[in-house]
Amino acid sequence: MQRYFLSNSQFQDDTITIGGEDAHHIARVMRMEEGSQVYCCNEEGKTAVAEITNFTNEAVTLHIVKWIEESKELPIQVSIASGLPKGDKLELIIQKATELGAHRFVPFNAARSIVKWDEKKGIKKVERWGKIAKEAAEQSHRSVVPTILKPVSFDFLLKESKNYDYKIVAYEEVAKTGEMSRFANVLTNMKPGESILVAFGPEGGLTEKEIVLLEEYGFIACGLGPRILRTETAPLYVLSAISYHFELQGVK
């Protein structure tokens, strides 16, 4: 069944009202009819099976059939901090990392970021990122849509890191020395319900000064295997490893 993420205000007792692009998608793209059923997720990540009862020009009305228990989220909360990369690479990261279970995205201006954030044009870009995350969450049957911050300063990232249980930074220089145990050790120590912030540099990587500052704030510099990964590949590697550790291996 198709899945839609809705605001709490769209739920009234046993009735759900869907308007805008989602209503258009139901009526014109999916060509659903009265009696068709969909999944509707509220802002708390709770999911209801709902049946379409009426169409108007502006909205679709549904009746809640039942609330269901789901466990589609990673057992730990993973936030991805990406140094602003070139082109549409961040869009790829957001789309694929959402499918893999990322909880939050924190883009930041790194010293070697070629892209410079334009506040005037940035609003539309952040809106596009949000739409990409929403569509990826629907496709992958997530229970929640990840939060995406507008690009922040490096100083903000350091202060933000205090809110996490664990912090690591992917650093190619330690990978070149053969370091391959720190990331695995962090996962072994983590427990379900805890949070981790994982930082990645842009195409040129993070500077030594940035690494020093991150380590002063408690980040652990890690290698991600013997190969050097691109800025858009590394977050997907990390999330896949986390899923394997906690979900496929059934670590509790």
The residue-averaged pLDDT of 79-104 equals 97
d(CA 155, CA 81): 13
Examine the fold and report which residue of 68, 94, 122 is the final residue of a domain before the chain moves on: 68
What is the tens place of the pLDDT at every residue in 104-149? 999 999 999 998 787 777 888 999 999 999 999 999 999 999 999 9
Exposed, middle or buried by CB within 10 Å (0-12, 13-18, 19+), for 250? exposed
| Same structural domain, 8 and 40 | yes
Domain count, the chain: 2
The predicted pLDDT at position 251 comes to 65
Instruction: Say what the pLDDT of residue 178 is.
Output: 80
Range of the domain at 150: 77-248
Question: Any long-range contacts for 127-136 (C-beta under 8 Å, 24+ apart)?
Answer: 128/91, 129/90, 129/91, 129/94, 129/105, 132/91, 132/94, 132/95, 132/98, 133/94, 133/95, 133/98, 133/105, 134/5, 135/95, 136/94, 136/95, 136/96, 136/98, 136/99
CATH number of the structural domain spanning residue 64: 2.40.240.20
Is the same domain home to 88 and 188? Answer: yes
208 with 230, same domain: the answer is: yes
Kindly tell me if the per-residue pLDDT of 252 is higher than 70: no
What is the pTM for the complete model shown?
0.91
Same domain, 9 and 28: yes
Amino acid at 107: P
Q: Render pLDDT for 154-195 as a digit per residue (tens, 0 to 9).
A: 999 999 999 999 999 999 888 888 888 999 999 999 999 999
In the prediction, which pLDDT does 121 show?
75
Instruction: Specify the pLDDT at position 175.
Output: 81
